[in-house]
Amino acid sequence: MKISFIGAGRVATHLAHALYAQGFEIVQVYSRNLFHAQVLARTVHATSIDTLADIVATDLMVIAVSDQAIESVITQLATLVDDHTLIVHTSGSTAMQILTKHHLRAGVFYPLQTFSLEREVNWSNTPFLLEAQYDADLLRLNEMARTLSQQIYHYNSEQRLSLHLAAVFANNFSNYCFDIAKQTVERNAVDFNLLTALMKETAEKACQFDPKVVQTGPAMRQDQNTLDAHQSLLQQQQAEDHLAVYRLLSEHIKKRHQVK
Question: Restricting to residues 86-105, which ones interact with a second copy according to CB under 8 A?
Answer: 93
Q: Are strands 106-111 and 128-132 parallel, antiparallel or unpaired?
A: antiparallel
Residue 189: phi, psi to the nearest 5?
60, 35
Residue nearer to a second copy on the CB measure, 24 or 246 = 246
Report the side by side order of strands in the sheet with 152-154. Answer: 47-49, 25-30, 2-6, 60-63, 86-89, 106-111, 128-132, 152-154
Q: By the 8 A CB rule, do 70 and 94 touch?
A: yes
Q: Least CB distance from residue 1 to a second copy, whole Å?
A: 26
Question: String of b and e for 149-182 (b: at least 16 CB within 10 Å)?
Answer: bebbeebebeebbebbeebeebeeeeeeeeeeee
Residue 246, interface with a second copy (CB under 8 A)? yes
Q: CA triplet 65, 68, 71: central angle to 5 degrees?
A: 85
Question: Restricting to residues 168-227, which ones interact with a second copy according to CB under 8 A?
Answer: 168-182, 184-185, 187-191, 194-212, 214-221, 223, 225-226
Question: Restricting to residues 16-35, which ones interact with a second copy according to CB under 8 A?
Answer: none
Q: Least CB distance from residue 217 to a second copy, whole Å?
A: 3
DSSP letter assigned to residue 24? P
Q: Least CB distance from residue 240 to a second copy, whole Å?
A: 10
Residue 126, interface with a second copy (CB under 8 A)? yes
Residue nearer to a second copy on the CB measure, 42 or 154 = 154
Residue 249: phi, psi to the nearest 5?
-65, -40
Q: Least CB distance from residue 56 to a second copy, whole Å?
A: 30
Residue 150, interface with a second copy (CB under 8 A)? no
Applying CB under 8 A, the span of 35-43, 76-84, 139-147, 151-159 interacting with a second copy comes to: 151-159
Residue nearer to a second copy on the CB measure, 146 or 182 = 182
Q: Least CB distance from residue 103 to a second copy, whole Å?
A: 21
